[in-house]
């Protein structure tokens, strides 16, 4: 065993100590990086540089300084970090707290007015942290837009996709019923309860159709606000609405229709065409001579004319689709006479003495007292309540069904969107079919001796016992 004494021993131990210290300093930073804890220095050009702080492990929370309590970091959908902080400020009535944060586009904004710091932190967690994580961030400042500000882009969208007459109706409903109640309201401040209260008050003064149209206007505007990320949900969606009371249809018999037409003067053929073909008034007014096929008893319907204010506006049909309809052969000669002397592009029906290239009007309130249709009904002796020109369309449906037409044919003739709509609209016309169905089924069963078998098995006695129970 080697034994060192004196100066040699001192030199040896001094060298060993220095070697051990150098090794320790060289290995310590790597150990810190591997474990992820502690603070290590970095050597640059022989000098100690600024210390590097490593992530604090959850098992040693007390060994490293905590981050500032007001700095919260949340990753947005765009991959950036959106920080928010809470600041205290003083008002005359006390202390308030403000949340300052950056939106996903990088713009800085704030939310003020919280009375407690806990309320501010809760709001920030729900509206910034969670919303960013789920990709549903709603900018509170965007919700300050009013219903009046969003009305214009909404109605501009409707002008593209709907008919001018419907747009005019929407504008009238907005001015009369919606504007004064909601125009100045920020969309973020509208609650479902107050929308329901407004619907209830409006239902006491207006019909169900008007109320539903007004609610659809407000709901449509708020739906656009949801799509624009101004509000999270639509408060007008799902409110209780009044039910429409379906008006009872008025049907004329064939003899009554022709008698009524005879009392309409020069409009005789117009009334017969409406009552036998089932087209809408606007579709009839838009007919040109070239739309009539006298050889095949067909009329091509692909346009409609409606009154918007004082103007007559031509557009496509209500369903935006064209169709071919039939007319009975009894009208062929009168339609031939009507087409004579007119150019193919001239209107088929025009007022006497007026240019044939200009559409006719309905004569101004024809169903009001003193109107031409009202007077013709009175002369004919038809009193079925308030009957309108549109009821001639129902008469056409009734005559088609009585003639044996199936539902699909009636749907195509009337221009309904689906056969289901035709059945729902004219369900009362099929009541007579139940009586004939009952008789037909009885005849079928008795023809197969089912009735005799039932009687022999004591069916009548069984029914009597059931009734006694």
Query: Do residues 179 and 170 make contact, with C-beta atoms less than 8 angstroms apart?
Result: no
What is the predicted pLDDT for the residue at 450?
A: 57
What is the predicted pLDDT for the residue at 368?
A: 82
What is the predicted pLDDT for the residue at 336?
A: 94
Q: How far apart are CA 253 and CA 266, in angstroms?
A: 22
The residues that bridge with 43 in the sheet, in sequence order, are: 48
Sole residue written with tokens 């100045």: 184
Best CA proximity match to 404, nearest among 385, 424, 430, 428 = 430
What is the predicted pLDDT for the residue at 67?
A: 42
**Positions of the chain with pLDDT lower than 70, given as ranges:** 1-83, 102-106, 127-140, 363-364, 431-437, 449-469
Query: Do residues 335 and 287 make contact, with C-beta atoms less than 8 angstroms apart?
Result: no
Query: Do residues 433 and 401 make contact, with C-beta atoms less than 8 angstroms apart?
Result: no
What is the predicted pLDDT for the residue at 216?
A: 95
Looking at residue 403, what DSSP letter applies?
T
What is the predicted pLDDT for the residue at 52?
A: 46
For the stretch 60-98, what's the b/e string if a residue is b when 16 or more beta carbons lie within 10 angstroms of its beta carbon?
eeeeeeeeeeeebebebeeeeebebbbeeeeeeeeebbe
C-beta contacts of 198-205 below 8 A and 24+ residues apart: 199/239, 199/240, 199/241, 199/242, 202/177, 203/242
Q: How far apart are CA 221 and CA 147, in angstroms?
A: 7
């Amino acid at each position: 065993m080697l034994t060192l004494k004196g100066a040699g021993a001192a030199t040896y131990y001094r060298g060993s100590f220095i070697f051990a210290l150098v090794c320790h300093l060289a290995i310590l930073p790597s150990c810190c990086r591997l474990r992820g804890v502690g603070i290590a220095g970095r050597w640059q050009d022989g000098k100690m540089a600024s210390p590097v702080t490593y992530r604090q492990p959850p098992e040693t929370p007390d060994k490293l300084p905590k981050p500032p309590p007001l700095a919260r970091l949340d990753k947005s959908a765009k991959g950036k970090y959106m920080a928010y902080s809470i600041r205290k400020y003083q008002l005359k009535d006390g202390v308030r707290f403000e949340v300052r944060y950056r939106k996903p586009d990088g713009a800085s904004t704030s939310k003020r007015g919280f009375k407690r710091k806990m309320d501010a932190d809760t709001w920030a967690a729900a509206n910034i942290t969670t919303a960013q994580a789920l990709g549903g961030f709603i900018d509170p400042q965007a919700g300050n837009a009013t219903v009046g500000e969003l009305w214009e882009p909404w109605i501009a969208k409707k002008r593209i996709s709907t008919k001018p007459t419907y747009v005019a109706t929407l504008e009238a409903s907005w001015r009369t019923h919606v504007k004064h109640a909601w125009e100045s309201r920020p969309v973020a401040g509208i609650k479902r309860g107050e929308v329901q209260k407004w619907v209830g008050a409006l239902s006491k003064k207006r019909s169900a159709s008007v109320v539903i149209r007004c609610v659809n206007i407000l709901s449509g505007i708020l739906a656009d606000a949801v799509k624009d990320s101004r509000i999270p949900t639509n408060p007008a969606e799902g409110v209780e609405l009044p039910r429409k009371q379906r008006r009872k249809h008025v049907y004329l018999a064939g003899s009554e229709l022709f008698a009524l037409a005879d009392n309409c003067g020069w409009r005789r053929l117009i009334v017969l065409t409406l009552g036998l073909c089932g087209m809408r008034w606007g579709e009839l007014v838009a007919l040109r001579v070239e739309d009539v096929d006298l050889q095949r008893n067909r009329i091509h319907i692909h346009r409609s004319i409606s009154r918007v204010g004082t103007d007559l506006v031509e557009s496509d049909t209500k369903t935006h689709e064209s169709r071919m309809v039939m007319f009975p052969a009894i009208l062929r000669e009168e339609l031939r006479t009507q087409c004579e002397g007119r150019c193919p592009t001239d209107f088929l029906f025009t007022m006497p003495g007026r240019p044939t290239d200009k559409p006719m009007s309905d004569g101004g309130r024809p169903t009001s007292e003193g109107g031409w249709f009202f007077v013709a009904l009175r002369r004919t002796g038809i009193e079925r309540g308030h009957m309108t020109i549109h009821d001639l369309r129902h008469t056409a449906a009734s005559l088609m069904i009585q003639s044996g037409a199936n539902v699909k044919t009636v749907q195509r003739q009337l221009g309904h969107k689906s056969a289901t709509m035709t059945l729902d609209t004219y369900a009362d016309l099929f009541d007579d079919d139940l009586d004939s169905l009952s008789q037909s089924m009885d005849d079928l069963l008795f023809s197969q001796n089912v009735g005799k078998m039932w009687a022999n098995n004591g069916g009548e006695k069984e029914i009597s016992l059931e009734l006694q129970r």
